[in-house]
Amino acid sequence: MHFLDQAKIFVRSGAGGPGAVSFRREKFIEYGGPDGGNGGKGGDIVFEAVAGLNTLIDFRYTQHFRAPRGQGGSGGNRTGGGGDDLVIQVPVGTQILSEDKEEVLLDFTRVGQREVFLRGGDGGRGNASYKTSTNRAPRQHGTGWPYEEAWVWLRLKLLADAGLVGLPNAGKSTFINAVTNAQAKVGEYAFTTTRPQLGVVRHKGREFVIADIPGLIEGAADGAGIGDRFLGHIERCRVLLHLVDANGEDVAESYRIVREELEAYGAGLAEKPQVVALNKIDTLDEELIAALSAELEEASGGPVIPLSGAAGTGVDWVLDNLIEAIGPAPGAVADDDEGEDVVEWSPV
């Protein structure tokens, strides 16, 4: 299935049905009079977040959505049938934006969330409702309230607990393949990841979702490489895992490039808690690992975890730190024990 994270669509609710002009004429009934019924209400445009969807690809082929209008009223004070609501199903994490993309109109963050976006027009009044003591045979009626319509953008932001960031070939795909059931593409060239990947981590009785996005390069905020369009998928993450390739020319510079792109993007990404890991250490000796870790610690201002996603070294240590940053699971009981196990790394 192709991945698509934004699409522009046209939506229109249903117009209200017209009221009827009718007069009652029945044999053996002395007094007649108006009996035109009201028109039916038009259908609403409703968005609903459903499970099982993780792309907006369907909206590439179907871009116009129109709810049915209400039916007209009829004699005998019969109200016209209402138009059915048009329910548009979207993935969890979808935002509905105005046509100029300046305003978020709706935000779907949970399965089953259902919101009326455009309301259908009310039906017009039949002539029976216009009858008064001085107007016994009215012939006026309502034509029904008009529909509402709009062009909107759908933007998908994947919901994940942790997000992977780093330069191309930092080993992000290898790591997510090692700790989740994802099957991300791995290759010895830049930008093997061309679309976001999601995986579920199961570690020490906990489950959390991790997202991998295409690698960032210097100038990504200005459109270099794949650009920064996929950074929106980690805006909702509670922690970032920053992987730095230990085989790069300058690990401190690699870290700086990614951090500057996060700051340029904004949306609070640079302020999120982060776990920094020096990846691909299986190709280095202990002395060089220690030197590069110290250099990266100085650049990041925090601890650095030596890691090898391919060999499995340091993976548990990273996952422990991610779980700590994510926080307790919903409904979990806090642990009052004062003693905690400290995970120490030692080269394999």
In a domain, 345, yes or no: no
169 labeled binding residue: yes
Percent of the chain with pLDDT over 90: 35
282 is in an annotated binding site: yes
14 with 125, same domain: the answer is yes
**Counted domains in the chain:** 2
Considering the domain architecture, whether residues 124 and 220 belong to the same structural domain is answered as no
Q: How many CB atoms lie within 10 A of CB 238?
A: 15
Tokens of 21: 């002009």
d(CA 46, CA 114): 7
Q: 320: annotated binding-site residue?
A: no
- Residue 130 in domain: yes
> Does the annotation flag 166 for ligand binding?
yes
Give a yes or no: residue 338 inside a domain.
Answer: no
What is the pLDDT at residue 107?
92
Burial class (CB in 10 A: 0-12, 13-18, 19+), 28: exposed
Alpha-carbon distance 163 to 264, whole Å? 17
Most confident by average pLDDT, 120-124, 191-195, 216-220: 120-124
- Does residue 341 lie within any of the structural domains? no
CATH number of the structural domain spanning residue 21: 2.70.210.12
Q: Is 212 annotated as a binding residue?
A: yes
CB contact set of 167 (below 8 Å; sequence gap of 6+): 215, 216, 217, 244, 245, 248, 254, 257, 258
* 193 in a known ligand binding site: yes
101 is in an annotated binding site: no
Task: Say if CB 29 and CB 2 are below 8 A apart.
Answer: no
Domain assignment present for 70: yes
The reply to whether 305 sits in an annotated binding site is no
Report pLDDT for 165: 87
Say whether both 173 and 121 belong to one domain.
no
* Range picked from 38-42, 92-96, 195-199, 297-301 for highest mean pLDDT: 38-42
pLDDT in tens, 338-348: 444 444 444 33
331 is in an annotated binding site: no
Token pair of 153 as six digits = 């953008």
If asked whether residues 186 and 322 sit together in one domain, one would say yes
pLDDT in tens, 178-212: 888 766 555 454 445 556 777 888 888 888 888 88
Beta-carbon-side half-sphere exposure of residue 96 (alpha carbons within 13 Å): 23
Is 323 labelled as part of a ligand binding site?
Answer: no
- Distance, CA of 243 to CA of 305 (rounded, Å): 10
Alpha-carbon distances of 142 from 36, 57, 121, 146, 167, rounded to whole Å: 11, 41, 12, 11, 63
3 state SS for the chain = CCCCCEEEEEEECCCCCCCCCCEECCCCCCCCEECCCCCCCCCCEEEEEECCCCCCCHHHHCCEEECCCCCCCECCCECCCCCCCEEEEEECCEEEECCCCCCEEEECCCCCCEEEEECCCCCCCCHHHHCCCCCCCCCCCCCCCCCCEEEEEEEECCCCCEEEECCCCCCHHHHHHHHCCCCCCCCCCCCCCCCCEEEEEEECCEEEEEEECCCCCCCHHHCCCCCCHHHHHHCCCCEEEEEEECCCCCHHHHHHHHHHHHHHHCCCHHHCCEEEEEECHHHCCHHHHHHHHHHHHHHHCCCEEECECCCCECHHHHHHHHHHHHCCCCCCCCCCCCCCCCCCCCCC
Determine whether the annotation assigns residue 170 to a binding site: yes
Q: Which of 109-113, 228-232, 332-336 shows the lowest per-residue confidence on average (mean pLDDT)?
A: 332-336
Q: Is 177 annotated as a binding residue?
A: no
Alpha-carbon span 84 to 245, nearest angstrom? 56
Q: Is residue 340 part of a domain?
A: no
215 labeled binding residue:
yes
Instruction: Tell me the CA end-to-end span of the chain in Å, nearest whole number.
Output: 40
Instruction: Note if the pTM is more than 0.75.
Output: no
The answer to the question of whether 341 is labelled as a binding residue is no
Residue 77 zone, left/alpha/beta (φ > 0; ψ -120 to 50; rest) = left
What pLDDT is attached to residue 20?
95
> Same domain for 189 and 290?
yes
213 is in an annotated binding site: yes
Question: What's the whole-number average pLDDT of the chain?
Answer: 83
Q: Where in the sequence is the domain holding 98, given as residue range(s)?
A: 6-156
Tell me the per-residue pLDDT of 128-149, one tens digit each, with 9 for 90 and over.
Answer: 999 998 888 899 999 999 999 9
Task: Establish whether 129 is an annotated binding residue.
Answer: no
**pLDDT of res. 342:** 42
Q: Are residues 214 and 83 in the same domain?
A: no
198 is in an annotated binding site: no
Give the best-scoring range by mean pLDDT among 46-50, 90-94, 109-113, 290-294: 46-50
Same domain, residue pair 171 and 192: yes
Q: Residue 242 has what pLDDT?
A: 92
The predicted pLDDT at position 339 comes to 45
Does 51 lie in the same domain as 13? yes
Residues 125 and 242 both lie in one domain: no
Residue 281 annotated as binding site: yes
Q: How confident is the model at residue 336 (pLDDT cuts 50, 70, 90)?
A: very low
Q: Are residues 19 and 110 in the same domain?
A: yes
Per the CB < 8 A criterion, the answer to whether 234 and 197 are in contact is: no
Estimate to the nearest angstrom the gap between the alpha carbon of 253 and the chain centroid. Answer: 32
